[in-house]
Amino acid sequence: MFREMRKHKRQLPQEEIPAILARASNGVLACCGDDGYPYAVPLNYVYMDGKICFHSAKEGHKIDALTRQPKVSFAVVGEDTIVSAEYTSYFRSVIAFGKARIAEGEERIKALEALVEKYSSDQPEASKRETIDRCTMAHVVVIDVEHLTGKEAKEYAEQRKAK
């Protein structure tokens, strides 16, 4: 169902992908937008329990697109170092494919707690709890991941091979 990576020698080992998803601070959600145009939007997210979770306004382009067609992809650049002398960058990236849905109940609360912890871990616990309790104006969207693939610059792949 999902294509194999063309440059398979640069494919990241599956066991390294969760760390990149956990470490990165933002990703780009790609879905089918209005009139068949692709719609890609950067957003903050959390990776938990093998799923990608983010919050969203209850109305708008993103929610309309996800409601119409839940199949999405989500791209994260976990590392990107510009190497000017080589006219390139050394990178590690991940692409996830899956289906998006609105989280409910305990799953919604758990995702909100994880989002608050990831992006505001230095805030007082009472403040974090208040933020979670007040968050009734937003949906929490979960991407049930069906396929994950990671890729790295050839220089990183060669380093890995040399070890």
Q: Which domain holds residue 105?
A: 8-156
Q: Tell me, yes or no, whether 93 lies in a domain.
A: yes
Parallel, antiparallel or unpaired: strands 27-32 and 71-83: antiparallel
Cα-based angle 146, 44, 152 (whole degrees, multiple of 5): 60
Which residues of the chain have a pLDDT value below 70? none
Instruction: Give the model's pLDDT for residue 136.
Output: 81
Q: Tell me, yes or no, whether 163 lies in a domain.
A: no
Q: Where are the beta strands (DSSP E) in the chain?
A: 27-32, 38-43, 46-48, 51-57, 71-83, 88-102, 138-152
Q: Tell me, yes or no, whether 2 lies in a domain.
A: no
Q: In what order do the strands lie in the sheet with 138-152?
A: 38-43, 27-32, 71-83, 88-102, 138-152, 51-57, 46-48
In this prediction the pTM is 0.91
Total domains present in the chain:
1
Instruction: Give the model's pLDDT for residue 159.
Output: 84
Q: What is the CATH number of the domain that holds 32?
A: 2.30.110.10
Q: Tell me, yes or no, whether 111 lies in a domain.
A: yes
